[in-house]
Amino acid sequence: MLRLGRREFGPHEPVIMAIVNRTPDSFYDRGATFGDEPALARVEQAVAEGAAIIDVGGVKAGPGDEVSAAEEARRTVGFVAEVRRRHPDVVISVDTWRAEVGEAVCEAGADLLNDAWGGVDPRLAEVAARHGVGLVCTHAGGALPRTRPHRVTYDDVMADILRVTVGLAERAVALGVPRESVLIDPGHDFGKNTRHSLEATRRLDEMVATGWPVLVSLSNKDFVGETLDRPVKERLLGTLATTAVSAWLGARVYRVHEVAETRQVLDMVASIAGHRPPTVARRGLA
């Protein structure tokens, strides 16, 4: 059982985490949800389309203008409080690597801290434990926040992913984070080149076999773009193909921009796997 906030998710229930960027320079939407009203409208749409988790980010993942912890908190804390007020049952996640920001958003009502930079601030897990919220433990290959990989190498990329993510997850539980609220993430593109991210996808079942629920953040990423030689706005099909493979291999949570399309893919895979009946079954019966 995966338990986040007020929600519990069964072992064969795929979960969509919708991205809401509170940044003016996000790589995909270019600041479309930087303002409060567009961001709140995005939350309403994502929930209506089937997202169970809203992932709020206050800092662009890639290089760009410096964003202080105070500015990151300004972009996220009040928004988290408003989403909590409007949607008492939705799971609110915040994408941050900073303990001070984690502290503030947890006080505002966040249920999950999405540490995409692999424990670069070890105090973030302590914050999660203190507030009894969930934690995403990600492999970032030792990269510093907001840096791009350069000629990174691994003897065995999946072995390194398992070592880091399982180690972070076990530390989090030892600190007091609820075990049923800890996820591991292979960190596609983070500290990896395209071949590394493809291999991480191909071998995702090895992460699933650890018993920790696996989150994948695939949406419109560079490894999809390089694999198909497509710009950011033309990566949906590649993203959905990667999503289907990840679902078949057992991933549980999917961090995405396009919720409705992802929902259809996950429902189809679940039905093929025998975990979900068809919505309609008339063919050959009428």
Give, for all 286 residues of the chain, the pLDDT tens digit: 899 999 999 999 999 999 999 999 988 888 999 999 999 999 999 999 999 999 999 999 999 999 999 999 999 999 999 999 999 999 999 999 999 999 999 999 999 999 999 999 999 999 999 999 999 999 999 999 999 999 999 999 999 999 999 999 999 999 999 999 999 999 999 999 999 999 999 999 999 999 999 999 999 999 999 999 999 999 999 999 999 999 999 999 999 999 999 999 999 999 999 999 999 999 999 7
Counted domains in the chain: 1
Answer yes or no: is 101 within a domain.
yes
For 85-112, what is the HEC assignment? HHCCCCEEEEECCCHHHHHHHHHHCCCE
Answer yes or no: is 6 within a domain.
no
Residue 116 identity: A
The per-residue pLDDT for 173 is 98
Q: Whole domain around residue 184: which residue ranges?
A: 12-273
Answer yes or no: is 5 within a domain.
no
C-alpha separations of 135 from 58, 197, 234 in Å: 17, 22, 31
130 within 8 A of 112, measured Cβ to Cβ: no
Strand order in the sheet with 134-138: 182-185, 134-138, 112-115, 91-95, 53-57, 15-21, 253-256, 215-217
State the alpha helices, DSSP H only, in the chain. Answer: 36-48, 69-86, 99-108, 123-131, 157-175, 194-202, 204-208, 222-228, 236-249, 259-273
C-alpha separations of 202 from 161, 251, 271 in Å: 13, 12, 21
Longest dimension (CA), the chain: 63
| 142 contact partners, CB below 8 Å, separation of at least 6 | 118, 191
d(C-alpha 260, C-alpha 237), whole Å: 13
State the CATH number of the domain containing residue 59: 3.20.20.20
Answer yes or no: is 159 within a domain.
yes
Answer yes or no: is 181 within a domain.
yes
The per-residue pLDDT for 105 is 98
* Cβ neighbourhood burial of 65 (10 Å; 0-12, 13-18, 19+): exposed
Query: Would you please indicate which residues are annotated as catalytic (active-site) residues?
Result: 221, 255
pTM of the model: 0.97
191 within 8 A of 164, measured Cβ to Cβ: no
d(C-alpha 249, C-alpha 187), whole Å: 16
Answer yes or no: is 3 within a domain.
no
Answer yes or no: is 238 within a domain.
yes
* Cβ neighbourhood burial of 13 (10 Å; 0-12, 13-18, 19+): middle
The per-residue pLDDT for 30 is 85
Answer yes or no: is 267 within a domain.
yes
